[in-house]
Structure 1
């Protein structure tokens, strides 16, 4: 890494003075004394390192966060159009009483796919598009933490969307509503493939969402500009960060629910089967534990867009930054505590109704803080009434209306009256469309110059806003009236003279007006991308780091990685001429890693180049789910093998240490740089003569993968936690002896537990030996861990065969085989991973400075062992306590 002075400019790319190069291995932080640009040859070679190759090869292999972000945006808008067409067809059916445009079956599929599309395929992915594109730019970084994982999340999202829509034209799409309540969605009442498609598509989409969330969390922790502490984070980041943390904890709940439903429908399990002591109410618990936080997942990033962009048009920073950031976090935390208010009509105990009703009202407090902050920002600023500002101001009104109607349903008696009426549909649309679509459209208008280098047409943009604003409120506000008059949701027609005719006609007219507005916006974007006025680097005179680069940004984002001393760096720099150093990273694809809290330089991260493995893995994973849907063992197995090979290619370590891509911009220094092959580089501050050692991130907590595996452990722990919750919930509700076949025997399971724990000791020893350069003892210890893992799998298999019941025998069998089977799958994956690590140890890929894969594998294996302790306690020990009640 070379350290050059830089100060981002509001009117162009970062500039740097080029001092005389220090001797190899030492890097100078020099206060800025000039504004000479980085020479053209250096920038050209830096661009060549980061640029995506042209043609279809680059299109399939790119890991550029900007390309992936735009793909998310475009794909999400395609799904928005599809969902909108479905809505228009439904509104044509409901415009008049006794209409016969659709049959009940067609209407069921339309309103289900409309909900699935708007909530799962549009609302979050479009926000992921913004975050993928903007996060590295607003954080002052070169890329996301895991570029290949970023690409994989998109391909999985696209595969899930195609899977969900593939059978829809044939009349076999999901048809039980996006809630998918059992027993309506059980095989007894819905025997076709419709629900299986929904279940498998949602599991695949859950994987995409989870890996994307992990990427955002680790990017926040590590990929920030020097000096960007958590107190200086762009407000945009807080919304996506809290949503990503919530996804890691909430998505496993709904993925498990759909997996259990698929097992009920296809393997004879009994989780929701009342005839075999199952409980349909378990579905609602698992679904709403996910779905209520999900509401805030698709709202908080949109709120972040408003909080980030609104100050640019008010010519002042966001009012009460700390309060807005804390309210964002508080909203999500409370959001996990209020899922039961969707179940007030299910016969819950009065104490639960009182607690969750109160919590549902309390959640309005942090939301109100954000509203008052936006109003204060506008009131105390000097508003500039450009098109994006109109969308953000309209959003504040939509947010208030949707929030008030939500608080109304928190009152239990009123909720009993409004449940399953069109009042709830109105509230849902104000929350998920008003609070999502308006910030999204405003955000696109605001960052369109950054995306394309051109401006959207301003006058046509304002016309578009007013059409959308009028159509939205004309379409969805009358739904409140319909609901208060008793119109139930999900009805495909209604009789005349019920008092609903006028409200439904207005809603249908408004829906078509809103659709015209969306078409106008898309047309404006398409035309402006080709013919719009050229935008400068910072056309809005905004404060964020993303406007310090050219528009659109170069492949490497920042030639000189900035350091910051303010939440509004460009505005602060305009008023402060104090020199500020920056960093030039040029030896291959490199990024700067910082400490999680203080944002101090910590490590030089080697970033992966473009690769086909994310695309191959995404396609193969989709085919796995297609094979499962078709009950084709051969197709599933072949696709799973391709997945395994793609993962192996993805994770294969490079043997050579300290390898760097050449960057011959300064030929005189390159020979010395090539000789510097250590894994630690030094940066000295020229004016203060202090030295900063920055290791290359290949070992321990410096490695990006070390942080990534922590997020994997969090989400996997949540998944096992929901499994154990399901077991305890169903066991507590069962009127039968538990387990039905008598108390479990502890002997063989206790021995197996001891074997698995001993395997962790051997895996730990392998890492200990590697770090002391004792390759063959490390290899032997790893083989010992593998042998004990194989022994555990073997004993577990024989224990399965000895059981007098199976997955389909009774409820306990369904729970036992799902819990142990899911854990066994993790053990088998872990054994395969340990085998790869043993091979790499024997080949000499690891040493004391380069052991990231070994550390990551060890963390995963220890986690699997700890999970087994909980499963052992629940399955084998807790029945003794239950029998003693």
Structure 2
């Protein structure tokens, strides 16, 4: 525990007035400060979000008519594959886990840095070459087998591009494994002595569950992809049925990771929700332990639901039944969180800030996406809508309406801590309105497309689906426009925003007890924990969240 109190740079102890802030060019170097690495993750992932979003706009433009009159179907396949890959592996996962996880975890537990700072920096710097490999694959035709890379299609189309795609995912997966080890050691060993496990903010609990899940599932995907790489380049036959291989084994290896990947993307967002909602509702979180333990329950049960993606792959009836039940069970701990957030909002002194609007928007979107997920987890229904636009609608409500809304909520909530400036609330509300309307306009009609039988992953379709596709395309354009006020808000507020102060939200977690932005070592003197992270109106705390002034150390 003593290690947690050692500063990263001893000079700050002898002369605390120096070395309190990094220069702008430090953010382009191999820097080991967790805050710098967190911001590096956020900026890089947002750049790839814009790239992946541009691919989506091009695809939706193509789908506005039944014929291939905007781009060639081969290019459409490449854009489809890499849009999904970028949005999952280079946007949501690195932003939610690498970005906010790295920036916030040491601050929330009173540590000066992560347990392994150099390993932390290495984990980030595996991501830029992964992104370059994916973008570079377009010079070789682009990977065209979808983000699932199912053989035999992935073994016979654009082999060089597909190999580059596989190497990129292996790099990102390695980054995820290194980061997960770092998070677990940091959370277990580097909390301030006054903080017990049950005193941790719920974002920390979500990162524990996320890290365990990543360590359990990511190596399985890496193994499957390496075997696929050997099939493509070295003449092996792991997944070639005509030479004794087995295609279904690949699907098991892929989905054993890739369904838990949904929880890798949403568990940190659940943690963000549990931080944003009580602060802006001015109420203690309802069911702290239930929310914390439900994250661990999702982590465990989430490893036993992957076969619901394979109900149409010759799955025997007993297996369909087992994984239908397990899929329905995993909805229970998620429901615990939903009801806890609603109970926290009930009767609260709600401040409809931009962060709170995105949090409430997330709540509605994720519930809707979760309901459609329950239907897809039921084998009798899934076999009828499998590989249709019903599936596309479901996972976009969960991942865009869930994860992306949560990332936006986190940006608005912690931007004052990162920069010392407030974001503009007018632009923030405009951003929310455009995003909320655009999301529903884009993805809600897709449920009807799926129920009518339109297959996904196609550039050409029956003209009977034209009108609904045009509605979805208009929604996609609106989503693209919605990013503009957010970018303007980020850049303007970073330079000209109102000075935030150390704790503009009057929050109670430890990150708000240090400077905004924090000094390099986070605190001059490590904070002392004297109350829980959500005790608004309890134990002498005002419902407005006032924190008594310490004599010699920050108190929370």
Q: Provide the TM-score with structure 1 as the length reference.
A: 0.59
The separation in 2 between residues aligned to 1:449 and 1:303, in whole angstroms, is 21
1:571-650 equivalence runs, <5 A: 574=541
Q: CA offsets per residue over residues 729-762 of structure 1, 9 Å max, x none?
A: xxxxxxxxxxxxxxxxxxxxxxxxxxxxxxxxxx
Q: Which structure would you say has the larger Rg? A: 1
Asked if the contact 1:455/1:535 (under 8 Å) is kept, the reply is: yes
Query: Is 1:64 aligned to residue 29 of structure 2?
Result: no
Paired residue for 2:532, among 545, 567, 574?
567
Q: CA offsets per residue over residues 64-85 of structure 1, 9 Å max, x none?
A: 1111101100100000000000
The separation in 1 between residues aligned to 2:238 and 2:72, in whole angstroms, is 32
The separation in 1 between residues aligned to 2:211 and 2:20, in whole angstroms, is 27
Asked if the contact 1:545/1:570 (under 8 Å) is kept, the reply is: no
Query: Is 1:548 aligned to residue 518 of structure 2?
Result: no
1:239-250 equivalence runs, <5 A: 239-250=206-217
Shift of 1:200: 1.2
Equivalence for 2:142: 173
The separation in 1 between residues aligned to 2:158 and 2:410, in whole angstroms, is 43
Asked if the contact 2:60/2:472 (under 8 Å) is kept, the reply is: yes
Asked if the contact 2:206/2:267 (under 8 Å) is kept, the reply is: yes
The separation in 2 between residues aligned to 1:231 and 1:533, in whole angstroms, is 35
The separation in 2 between residues aligned to 1:577 and 1:425, in whole angstroms, is 50
Paired residue for 1:117, among 71, 86, 95?
86
Equivalence for 1:301: 268
Paired residue for 1:491, among 437, 442, 458?
458
Shift of 1:326: 1.0
Equivalence for 1:387: 354
The separation in 1 between residues aligned to 2:472 and 2:551, in whole angstroms, is 56
The separation in 1 between residues aligned to 2:412 and 2:307, in whole angstroms, is 38
Paired residue for 2:71, among 86, 92, 102?
102
Query: Is 1:77 aligned to residue 46 of structure 2?
Result: yes
The separation in 2 between residues aligned to 1:57 and 1:369, in whole angstroms, is 42
Asked if the contact 2:431/2:485 (under 8 Å) is kept, the reply is: yes
Where structure 1 has 5 or more consecutive residues not aligned to the other structure, the ranges are 3-40, 584-885
Asked if the contact 1:449/1:455 (under 8 Å) is kept, the reply is: yes
Q: CA offsets per residue over residues 491-515 of structure 1, 9 Å max, x none?
A: 101131x2x1221111100011011
Shift of 1:387: 1.2
Equivalence for 1:138: 108
Asked if the contact 2:143/2:158 (under 8 Å) is kept, the reply is: no
Equivalence for 2:504: 539
The separation in 1 between residues aligned to 2:66 and 2:549, in whole angstroms, is 71
Equivalence for 1:425: 392
The count of residues paired between Structure 1 and Structure 2 equals 541
Equivalence for 2:119: 149
Equivalence for 2:408: 441
The separation in 2 between residues aligned to 1:50 and 1:525, in whole angstroms, is 23
The separation in 1 between residues aligned to 2:158 and 2:62, in whole angstroms, is 26
The separation in 2 between residues aligned to 1:44 and 1:549, in whole angstroms, is 19
Where structure 2 has 5 or more consecutive residues not aligned to the other structure, the ranges are 3-10
Q: CA offsets per residue over residues 645-700 of structure 1, 9 Å max, x none?
A: xxxxxxxxxxxxxxxxxxxxxxxxxxxxxxxxxxxxxxxxxxxxxxxxxxxxxxxx
The separation in 2 between residues aligned to 1:490 and 1:574, in whole angstroms, is 54
Counterpart of 1:46 in 2: which secondary structure?
A: coil
Q: CA offsets per residue over residues 421-480 of structure 1, 9 Å max, x none?
A: 000001111111111111111110111101111111111211111111000100111111
Asked if the contact 1:361/1:407 (under 8 Å) is kept, the reply is: yes
Asked if the contact 2:63/2:459 (under 8 Å) is kept, the reply is: yes
Structure showing greater relative contact order (alpha-carbon pairs closer than 8 Å, 6 or more residues apart): 1
Counterpart of 1:336 in 2: which secondary structure?
A: helix
The separation in 1 between residues aligned to 2:398 and 2:535, in whole angstroms, is 33
Equivalence for 1:339: 306
The separation in 2 between residues aligned to 1:219 and 1:473, in whole angstroms, is 39
Query: Is 1:86 aligned to residue 55 of structure 2?
Result: yes
The separation in 1 between residues aligned to 2:127 and 2:288, in whole angstroms, is 33
Paired residue for 1:525, among 490, 505, 513?
490
Counterpart of 1:493 in 2: which secondary structure?
A: coil
Shift of 1:380: 2.9
Asked if the contact 1:563/1:580 (under 8 Å) is kept, the reply is: no
Shift of 1:565: 3.5
The separation in 1 between residues aligned to 2:219 and 2:398, in whole angstroms, is 24
Q: CA offsets per residue over residues 271-307 of structure 1, 9 Å max, x none?
A: 1111221101111000000001110000010110011
Equivalence for 2:134: 164
Q: CA offsets per residue over residues 338-396 of structure 1, 9 Å max, x none?
A: 00100000111111110101111111111111110110010131111111110000000
Counterpart of 2:367 in 1: which secondary structure?
A: helix
Asked if the contact 2:311/2:382 (under 8 Å) is kept, the reply is: yes
Q: CA offsets per residue over residues 586-627 of structure 1, 9 Å max, x none?
A: xxxxxxxxxxxxxxxxxxxxxxxxxxxxxxxxxxxxxxxxxx
Counterpart of 1:174 in 2: which secondary structure?
A: coil
Equivalence for 2:323: 356
Asked if the contact 1:46/1:556 (under 8 Å) is kept, the reply is: no
1:113 and 1:541, CA in 2 relative to 1: closer, same or farther beyond 3 A? Answer: same
